Amino acid sequence: MHNQTVAQLVKQLQSKAVSSVELTQHYLDRIQQNDADLNSFISVTAEQALAQAKAADVRLAQGNAPTLCGLPIAHKDIFCTQGVRTSCGSKMLDNFIAPYDATIVQNYQNQGVVSLGKTNMDEFAMGSSNETSYYGPVKNPWATHCVPGGSSGGSAAAVAARLAPAATATDTGGSIRQPAALCGISGLKPTYGRASRYGMIAFASSLDQAGLMAQTAEDIALLLGPLSGFDPKDSTSVDHPVDDYTRLLDKPLTGLRIGIPDEYFGEGLEASTEKCVREAIAQFEKLGATTKSIKLPHTSLSVPAYYVIAPAECSANLSRFDGVRYGYRCKNPQDLDDLYSRSRSEGFGDEVKRRILVGAYALSAGYYDAYYAKAQKARRLIKQDFVAAFHDVDLIMGPTSPSPAFEFGSKSADPVAMYLEDIYTIATNLAGLPGMSIPCGLVNGKPIGLQIIGNYFDEAQMLGVAHQYQQATHFHTLAPANYK
């Protein structure tokens, strides 16, 4: 049952071939059997999940239930869930029970979607390997000595290991696409502003975007509706009509123009990864698309610009974690300064502290123009590159990540090496564009991801194109040997 896709499962739920309670229990059992080792969940909410499943079954029995009703999914532990611990992977929020639901959590609940629990993640979504989580790293189900990617490593591993049919996730610089690539699943980061950020704990507000992970592009198309739309509680969400994301799934690729950026195939890209990506592109040509090489000349600025802007925003966003109103508070504070400095020193991990310090430095008097203002200028140039490119092409494709999953500890001592994991994904966040990753091969038993970058609000076309590829290939059907 767990090897089935969302598309298959919702059909069975609607036809009552399986009940939501049965399905939910099945996934809860799989989590219990497998997750002690994998560590993809921080909290499993079995009791609540079964209650939701029961309610979903009632709706299904009454008829006219929404398409997704009864489907169990997992939420990244960055989304606030009322009455459930929402830790954001941090000791700082280990004791935080959210008093409200994030808008997207609420939206799925309204559709009758069941929440299995909260998935593991890099602390405050800062990391590319899931090694910064207070709850310990998640293992990659394909190679348990390797990282699942990050920051949404828990969601990616849970979907890859068939512990959940799909999961929500977030992407600030690649946190959906890179773990999706490393875990051999499909992942989509929509256009900035497509999904509400209300109740999603902020890392870098101008870059953070909620998205989805599932086995297939079709599954994401089915799930994307409730995630999308303007939210009056988030003034950066965009009042743009919500598409029927399944409408282009069957559209042939004849005439599709794909741009291949030269800059995404330079130094740093592992040969075996490049080979898989090139083969995938050849497959698109076989399906009727035309490809041309394009230039995104400011690509090299994206990592440095990102590592100024994201830390700058996080340095302010994380100031609220001060030990005063909620979250971790140090023992026996002597005075106010002691309360602040010890609560934050003890409550945050090293990577979070590093980024707060970098951000505070970049914003400080005398450095603002040299760092923050310059980074914003670079950001505009990067965006202009994409806008120009999309005059000639419909989609852009390249690698998601320079290499397959790496071993634990191999990059954690070298922040720059870790930051370069996101070298191909960061630019889309800076530009606010939608990006996705789909599996396109295995190297030594480890998955490789193909990145698809679309124009603003062009998610339906991206999903259609990815679906056509998945109709012609089998990579998305592969499951790690121990989790079939």
Q: What span, in angstroms and rounded, lies between the C-alpha atoms of 125 and 93?
A: 13
Instruction: State in angstroms the smallest separation of the CB of 88 from another protein.
Output: 7
Size of the site for another protein (CB under 8 A): 43
**Least Å from the CB of residue 317 to another protein:** 9
How many Cα atoms sit within 13 Å of 403 on the Cβ side? 18
Which residues from 171-210 bind another protein, rule CB under 8 A? 197-202, 204-206
**DSSP, res 272:** H
CB of 328 to another protein, least distance (A): 12
Residues 191 and 432: beta-carbon distance below 8 Å: yes
Least CB distance to another protein at residue 182 (A) = 27
Given the residues 76, 91, 139, 411, the one annotated as active site: 76
233 makes contact with another protein (CB under 8 A) = yes
Q: Does the annotation mark 76 as catalytic? A: yes
**Contact status, residue 154 vs residue 130, Cβ threshold 8 Å:** yes
Residues 234-293 contacting another protein, CB under 8 A: 234-236
Residues 341-380 that bind another protein (CB under 8 A): 360, 363-365, 368, 372
88 makes contact with another protein (CB under 8 A): yes
Shortest Å, Cβ 209 to another protein: 13
- Tell me the CB-side half-sphere exposure of residue 107, using CA atoms within 13 A: 21
φ/ψ of 255, rounded to 5, equals 90, -5
Inter-residue contact 175 to 169 (CB < 8 Å) = yes
Catalytic residue list contains 155: no
User: Annotated catalytic residue: which of 175, 186, 196, 302?
Assistant: 175
* Closer Cβ to another protein, 105 or 294, answer by number: 105
**Would you say 432 or 449 has its CB closer to another protein?**
432
Contacts (Cβ under 8 Å, ≥6 apart) of 4: 12, 165
* Cα 42 to Cα 134: distance, rounded to the nearest angstrom: 10
Q: Which stretch binds another protein (CB under 8 A): 19-27, 91-99, 128-136, 437-445?
A: 91-99
Place of tokens 């071939």: 17
User: Is residue 125 within the footprint of another protein (CB under 8 A)?
Assistant: no
Strand order in the sheet with 72-76: 41-44, 114-119, 72-76, 166-171, 209-214, 186-189, 435-443, 446-454, 395-399, 257-261, 290-294
Q: Nearer to another protein by C-beta: 197 or 411?
A: 197
Structure tokens at 399: 């690698």
Nearer to another protein, 375 or 395 (CB): 375
- Compute the least distance from the CB of residue 193 to another protein, in Å: 10
Given the rule CB under 8 A, which of 28-36, 166-174, 246-254, 323-331 is the region that contacts another protein?
Answer: 323-331
Residue 340 binds another protein, judged by CB under 8 A: yes
DSSP 369-428: IIIIIHHHHHHHHHHHHHHHHTTT-SEEEEESSSSSPPBTTSSTT-HHHHHGGGTTTHHH
Q: Does 408 bind another protein (CB under 8 A)?
A: no
Q: Is the dihedral of CA 376, 378, 382, 388 positive or negative?
A: positive
Where in 262-346 does DSSP place strands (E)? 290-294
Q: Which stretch binds another protein (CB under 8 A): 64-72, 99-107, 412-420, 474-482?
A: 99-107
Tell me which of 35, 322, 422, 458 binds another protein, using CB under 8 A.
322
Active site residues: 76, 151, 175
Contact residues toward another protein (CB under 8 A) are: 79-80, 86, 88, 93, 96, 98-100, 102, 197-202, 204-206, 232-236, 312-313, 315-316, 319-322, 324-326, 336, 340, 360, 363-365, 368, 372
